[in-house]
Chains A and B, each alone.
Chain A
């Protein structure tokens, strides 16, 4: 998929007027009395891919919708592509590309008709050419008259991204674009994203996949409306100062149940035939594990996120679905 055929010089011209593609501070959103997003501050630089992570119902979708003007923040301020998110959402809608979590193109329109509608509603010049080109890069030229309904999940995602890219937005807001997509298609998708980023497109992408998180330039971890960690994957791992050990052997489930009772053990997770044990005090953990077969391993992003998730649940105690 190579949807970006605009010369580099043109992108740079577009991107010369603002510092960060996204720069918001103190965003808050309530649904009724539920505080869904709390004091969210985010910066996404030009050509940067920011991974937006967090458990289900943590406010990721709400945050993304506030960024593109689909929801009005209750308080807070900021800019997307240099436009004020509270007063200039029309301009943001025109220039940012938003891809919804659920496929939201028209299933009773054909692939071409969907792209054609997008091209018209954004008033693109050279409409027929733009649509033809998008169909070709998608590899859907021969199927362009099929109804969108007939596409499989992965193809629907690709169509949605192609529709999103049709007008070469400078900022992509992607809400779990790869959920339910096979690994191969996901890899293609990420190659595409990095190519766009190299041309200066900024990307905010929410995901639950750890391999995808590691592909982002920066990560933001949000849980229960709170932004808990921000930075590169490496810095987030280091910040938590966790020591992780891998235990091997038989009956790992029983072992984990026993050692969990010790306060030094903050987290146990079974990964296939091994057990990951994490905590802040390395000596205390080694003391607990001394009867087991174990070795020290680097703490992974997934360990950190599971740790963060448990930690916030204890701190905030509340959980809600959106």
Chain B
């Protein structure tokens, strides 16, 4: 049989009509590209700027002030004035609230004037090696600037030396700057976000699409029973996934395991719960399985891009960081990296745990609220 234009046109028309009826799909096809454009175009920055740094200074002089101001103006660093003692700064670095600590010793200015080539210490949280290397590359330029500005007149002889002072860099938590140390633990949350949310998003829409929902609604089962009952199997799947990735990260990729295994499973369990509640909310919102999948992508895309998994969190503009702060994956990435690489304890993790608890409770409430007990 030869190709019939009439038959072909019948099919084209039918597809257009069906596409027109499916408003959600249509909207997604327009909205998703816009979101992707916005995220990749504006939010994501592979040359991260304004990384938080704490200054622990035991010496105050024109020179140290110049160092600080040139750091500020370099755009690569944002000075956090909350932490000024060594202990505070160390704790903040461990929690991931700051990325660097700059320590200026008390005899810095004295030694500099004597031409003794003093050194200042820059400690970096090197869990994310990419972020750190970009900032560190800029540090040499800063030293040069200081020299040009302040070492004038009789002091210009000091400048003529190549380096009037030295910046010693300590890369903490990932001294060899191995990228896998950062990516692999982050992958754990990403995998769980994708699979768990998707599976539970389909849980109720599947019943609706197959017509078994009417039967389920006719039983005395209550919404909370149905929803929590539906997500339990996926808790186990999530734990299996977490174990697989933990195992592989340590034994295949050689990621060091510095923290507590109990804490890892505790936060993994919490994160699983959060994703399942989000999935079940999507499921009670979506009309069919296709919509559920689309909504899952809608949630997954910003999660991988804005959570600090792929691109440095502090490198993003503030508005994007705010969006990142409502995404569970952001907190989980901090938690899992904090435990595995930096041996954080529960108290240090708490600032990233309570947001997850809140998200879980809010989502479960929404899911039950949106769940239709009748066919109305």
Contact = CB atoms under 8 A, between A and B. Distances in A.
Contacts, number: 42
Nearest to A96: B218
B375 A70 contact: yes
A98 B213 CA distance: 13
A94 interface: yes
Interface string A253-268: 0000000000000000
B356 to A, nearest CB: 32
A19 B213 CA distance: 32
Contacts of A100: 211, 214-215, 218
A93 B221 CA distance: 9
Contacts of A102: 211, 214
Contact of B220 (A93, A103, A106, A107): A93
Contact of B219 (A65, A71, A72, A122): A122
Nearest to A31: B376
Nearest to A175: B214
Contact of A71 (B211, B212, B375): B375
B374 interface: yes
Interface in B203-233: 210-215, 217-221
A121 B214 contact: no
Interface residues of A, number: 20
Contact of B374 (A71, A94, A98, A103): A71
Nearest to A108: B210
Contacts of B375: 65, 70-71
Given A106-B212, A107-B210, A72 B218 contact: no
Given A65-B375, A69-B374, A72-B376, A104 B221 contact: no
Contacts of A98: 218
A8 interface: no
Interface in A56-81: 65, 68-72
A242 B221 CA distance: 49
A168 B213 CA distance: 22
A70 B211 contact: no
Contacts of A305: none
Contact of B212 (A70, A94, A105): A105
Interface in B163-216: 210-215
B220 A70 contact: no
A127 to B, nearest CB: 15
Contacts of A69: 218, 374
A104 B376 contact: no
A72 B374 CA distance: 7
Contacts of A107: 210
Interface in A232-289: none
Contacts of B210: 107
Given A70-B375, A71-B375, A72-B376, A104 B220 contact: no
Given A121-B221, A122-B220, A105 B374 contact: no
Contacts of A122: 219-220
A90 interface: yes
Contact of A93 (B212, B213, B219): B219
A70 B219 contact: no
A105 B215 contact: yes
Given A93-B220, A121-B220, A122-B220, A104 B215 contact: yes
A70 B374 contact: yes
A71 B375 CA distance: 6
B40 to A, nearest CB: 40
B219 A104 contact: no
Interface string A92-127: 011000101011111100000000001001100000
A88 B45 CA distance: 58
Nearest to A69: B374
Contacts of A105: 212, 215
B98 to A, nearest CB: 53
B376 A71 contact: yes
A45 to B, nearest CB: 23
B318 to A, nearest CB: 45
B314 to A, nearest CB: 47
A107 B211 CA distance: 11
A103 B214 CA distance: 10
Contacts of A104: 211-215
Nearest to A68: B218
B262 to A, nearest CB: 34
Nearest to B375: A70
Contacts of A68: 218
Contacts of B212: 104-106
Given A71-B375, A121-B220, 15 more contacts: A65-B375, A69-B374, A70-B214, A72-B376, A98-B218, A100-B211, A100-B218, A102-B214, A104-B211, A104-B213, A105-B215, A106-B212, A121-B219, A121-B221, A122-B219
Interface of A: 65, 68-72, 90, 93-94, 98, 100, 102-107, 118, 121-122
Interface of B: 210-215, 217-221, 374-376
15 contacts: A65-B375, A69-B218, A69-B374, A71-B375, A72-B374, A100-B214, A100-B218, A102-B211, A103-B211, A104-B213, A104-B215, A118-B219, A121-B220, A122-B219, A122-B220
Shortest Cβ-Cβ A-B pairs, 4 listed: A104-B215, A94-B220, A98-B218, A121-B219
